[in-house]
Structure 1
Amino acid sequence: MAHYPVFLELTGRRCLVVGLGRVGRRKLEGLLECGPAQVTGLDIRPPDSDIQRLLDSRANFSFLQRPFRAEDVLGQTLVFACSSDAGLNAEVAETCRLRGVWCNVADDPDQSDFILPSLIRRGDLVVAVSTSGRSPALARMVRQELDEMFGPGYEPLLTVMGRIREGVLSCGTDCDQNRDLFRALVGSELRRQLEIGDLAGADRTLRQVLPEVLHPEIGVYLHGSGKNF
């Protein structure tokens, strides 16, 4: 089955994780990094030190120590069924399906409404790898190979490119010119220069590529680059 790849905006949304073992905890931590309004963890076991640490440090995380109830899925954007009890996971998935709530069942893509890819993060740059649930081990291997390909220079490059893009678009030049300029920048030495903190070299590169009207802004584009990223 083909899956539709998508990145979700969870700001202001609520999510539920049922079962806070190793898998559930990983899902929980990933959700909290995305800034939802509320993430609820549910488990019949009392919170251990790691869960307590999250409770103490994350205002948008709450914990319920009790069995799952059907009403728990109401108002949730995403639900993760991560219990070690396959029967409970199936119950959570069916409850979500009846109420139109998306559910991910750990290690069971056939019961899931969505699956999670392996990720490479370099700041705002996110590369996702999926085998459509058929081989998580292969997805991890591909991710590791890509992890070596996308070095640390991509994070500062993206930050600088984001700043430059705003300036270029404000110039009113046509789309073809903008496209050529952006491609020239990403194909230049700029990434390597930012990666090693060579801001003087990055300044020279930007002056060679950017129109003169933007040269006074180069300091702004590079502010915080290199080791400060």
Structure 2
Amino acid sequence: MNQLFPIFIKLNQIHTLLVGGGKVALEKFEALASNDNALNLTIVAKEIIPEFAQLLKEYPQIDLYVRPFASEDMINKQLVIAATNNMELNEQLRNLTRQNNILFNAADKPELCDFYLGSIVKKGNLKIAISTNGKSPTIAKRLKELLNDLLPEEIDETLSLMSTYRDQLKGDFEFKVKKLNEHTKDILGHER
């Protein structure tokens, strides 16, 4: 059973450490940056592939250190992502994150992870996260493609209108929820 609790993290308000500089690290970076290009990130890698180094020039706020990882790199970090093919380093990172109460993710090593990076569907202000509990990133990717095709581009306009409507409602929380449910039932075309 999938016991994961989905949350949405404000990447510009917490400090994330990405360890690795290869293709997998680039993929993880792109996932992070596509959700918040103002992210607060430090990258540490013994070496970095040229396309990754080139892309990072567009993110002057990101700290890049091309050198081996040091335990001091975890100071003031709240999230650590390991994108290395070095199991010994991944285990070291896992142990350090546990000791320091830092959330940890290791690419392709679900048994080491506190959280997974799911597939994300974005349409304006709407964001849907998809998780397969680490079982099949390929299925998550296919579902992402399906939802991207199904959701209309106008959904962001609808969200803005709903926000305005919600702000205009007078009454307590329960009344507002009832009114919003009635209104969205008509918009989305089915009853709950």
Q: TM-score, normalised by structure 2?
A: 0.83
Cα RMSD of the aligned pairs, angstroms, is 2.4
Identity in percent: 26
SS of the residue 1:128 aligns to: strand
Distance 1:29 1:71 in 2: 25
Letter in 2 for 1:110: E
Contact 2:21 2:46 in 1 (8 A): no
Distance 1:114 1:163 in 2: 34
Contact 2:12 2:40 in 1 (8 A): no
SS of the residue 2:43 aligns to: strand
Rg comparison, structure with higher value = 1
SS of the residue 1:103 aligns to: strand
Q: How many residues align?
A: 185
- Which residue is 1:146 aligned to? 147
Q: Deviations over 1:208-228 (max 9, x none)?
A: xxxxxxxxxxxxxxxxxxxxx
SS of the residue 1:142 aligns to: helix
Q: Deviations over 1:4-55 (max 9, x none)?
A: 1111223322111000222211222333342666201111115624423423
Compute the displacement of 1:76 (Å).
0.5
- Which residue is 1:155 aligned to? 156
Distance 1:76 1:182, change over 3 A: same
Matched, 1:119 2:120: yes
Contact 1:15 1:36 in 2 (8 A): no
SS of the residue 2:32 aligns to: helix
Q: Deviations over 1:40-94 (max 9, x none)?
A: 1111115624423423x32321100100111211211110000122222222122
Q: TM-score, normalised by structure 1?
A: 0.71
Distance 1:114 1:52 in 2: 28
Compute the displacement of 1:119 (Å).
1.0
Letter in 2 for 1:15: T
SS of the residue 2:108 aligns to: coil
Contact 1:28 1:39 in 2 (8 A): no
Q: Which has the higher helix share?
A: 1
SS of the residue 2:105 aligns to: strand
- Which residue is 1:45 aligned to? 47
